[in-house]
Amino acid sequence: MKFRITPIDGGICAVEGIYAGAVKAGFKKDDYDVGFIRSDEPLDIAYLFTTNKFQAAPIKYVKRKEIKKSNFILANSKNANAMTGEEGIKDIEEILEYLSSRTTLTNPVMSSTGVIGVRLDKEKIKAAIDKFDLNERNSNKFAKAIMTTDSFEKEIAFEVEGEFGKFRIGGVAKGAGMINPAMATMLCFITTDADIPKEEMSEILKDNNEVTFNAISVDGDTSTNDSVFLMTIRKGAYEKEAFKEALKQVMIKLALDIVKDGEGATKAVAFVVTGAKNKKEAKIAAKALTNSLLVKTALFGEDPNWGRIASTIGASGVECDENKLKIAFENIVVYDKGKIIFDEETEKKAHEVMKKREFKIYVDIGMGEGAFTAYGCDLSYDYVKINAEYRT
């Protein structure tokens, strides 16, 4: 490594010149629910948006305005402003117009999460805007404001240092207390002072997204609001490799936080698929595993029921062969190319692995060089017990 990545405090506000805060607007019972991220000068901003065909109004707004530079992000939880048509967009315009009375705006952006199909309560949001302390630099409050069913705030920041100099990068995200994170809204806001060329922002964001947030989303069933924002204030240094790695670490940390915060999840599991025909098939297989209710319930039951893993691979549609497949819980191989290695001793060891809070399941398909790692959680909760205990 020609550079060093050091965790620091401060989340998105670890980057100098970034302000963030939130207020209690009354959408939640007694918690932050409307927040902002801003800077004095407009910043270059890159986005990734949901592939859902019914994109929410805030996303349509940004796309329609073709916003490339902005100095203000306004965010709210409890209402997604989705399926609200042109009126939903007009609501955003009215709110941002009101916001302009409080501060100088350059292409402000809005980001929402919550219930679909309900108009925004503009008056409550305007009242929230009145209460903003625009000089606040509190990443944590903002992280709280975007939470819906999340049980903890998701924040991270790094300082990156190398021969090229120094830069900082910070991120906040909200996940979904859902079993399959991609099914409820995922929002992520990343700030940096890296002097990243404008044309590289989207490219690097997209590349990293494939192996981070897209590795925890399972079946493409994405919400109307999923968004990842990257903005840079460009006061620091830049080196592509270092930036890409640091951004990846920010994104993987937040993605894994989302997995760990799955409602009732007791385990975070990495499904390491290798030997697929190609990368695409590795991804299909790995995601199928994170999405299989039978696999998830076996995780919860700490039951090394490898047959469910095999069945999921077989059903995923990828090229495979019973006599080439290999399955291991960490280093405990339970099925090896047609041979069942599942005596009492092996089962016990595999069960020990599964008792851990975090572990890896390795699946080698034996058909090629394709590899992908997907991250999932178990399905706990009583109802699941029925499946978890199926073998006993």
Catalytic amino acids? 185
Q: Which residues pair with 187 in a beta bridge?
A: 174, 227
d(CA 228, CA 50): 9
Site string for its own copies, 349-388 (x = CB under 8 A): ------------------------------xxxxxx-xx-
Query: Could you identify the residue written with the tokens 């996940």?
Result: 175
**In angstroms, what is the minimal distance from the CB of 299 to its own copies?**
14
Asked if 305 is part of the footprint of its own copies (rule: CB under 8 A), the reply reads yes
Asked if 77 is part of the footprint of its own copies (rule: CB under 8 A), the reply reads no
Asked if 343 is part of the footprint of its own copies (rule: CB under 8 A), the reply reads no
Angle between helices 57-65 and 85-99 (to 10 degrees): 70
Work out the number of other CB atoms within 10 angstroms of the CB of residue 343: 10
Question: Site size for its own copies, by CB under 8 A?
Answer: 68
Type of residue at 189: F
d(CA 163, CA 185): 39
Closest Cα to residue 202, out of 242, 166, 247, 246? 247
Q: What is the DSSP string of 175-186?
A: --SSSSGGGS--
Calculate ∠ Cα 61-65-68, nearest 5°.
110
Asked if 316 is part of the footprint of its own copies (rule: CB under 8 A), the reply reads yes
Site string for its own copies, 147-176 (x = CB under 8 A): -xx---------------------------
**In angstroms, what is the minimal distance from the CB of 64 to its own copies?**
14
Is beta strand 69-76 parallel, antiparallel or unpaired with respect to 109-112? parallel
Using CB under 8 A, which of 4, 85, 97, 358 touches its own copies?
85
d(CA 365, CA 20): 47
Stretch that binds its own copies, among 5-13, 64-72, 231-239, 311-319 (CB under 8 A): 311-319
Using CB under 8 A, which of 17, 165, 197, 307 touches its own copies?
307
**In angstroms, what is the minimal distance from the CB of 240 to its own copies?**
33
Asked if 92 is part of the footprint of its own copies (rule: CB under 8 A), the reply reads no
d(CA 230, CA 70): 11
Structure tokens at 290: 């994170």
**In angstroms, what is the minimal distance from the CB of 378 to its own copies?**
11
Asked if 116 is part of the footprint of its own copies (rule: CB under 8 A), the reply reads yes
Using CB under 8 A, which of 31, 134, 280, 317 touches its own copies?
317
Asked if 322 is part of the footprint of its own copies (rule: CB under 8 A), the reply reads yes
Measured from the CB atom, the residue of 7 and 338 that comes closer to its own copies is 338
Stretch that binds its own copies, among 76-84, 103-111, 128-136, 161-169 (CB under 8 A): 76-84
- Would you say 80 and 119 are in contact if contact means Cβ atoms under 8 Å apart? no
3-state secondary structure of 189: strand
Calculate ∠ Cα 378-112-225, nearest 5°.
55
Tell me 264's DSSP state.
Answer: T
Using CB under 8 A, which of 26, 28, 54, 368 touches its own copies?
54
Q: What residue ranges bind its own copies (CB under 8 A)?
A: 51-55, 80, 82-85, 115-119, 148-149, 177-180, 183-184, 219-224, 263-264, 288, 292-294, 305-308, 310-323, 335, 338-340, 342, 379-384, 386-387, 390-391
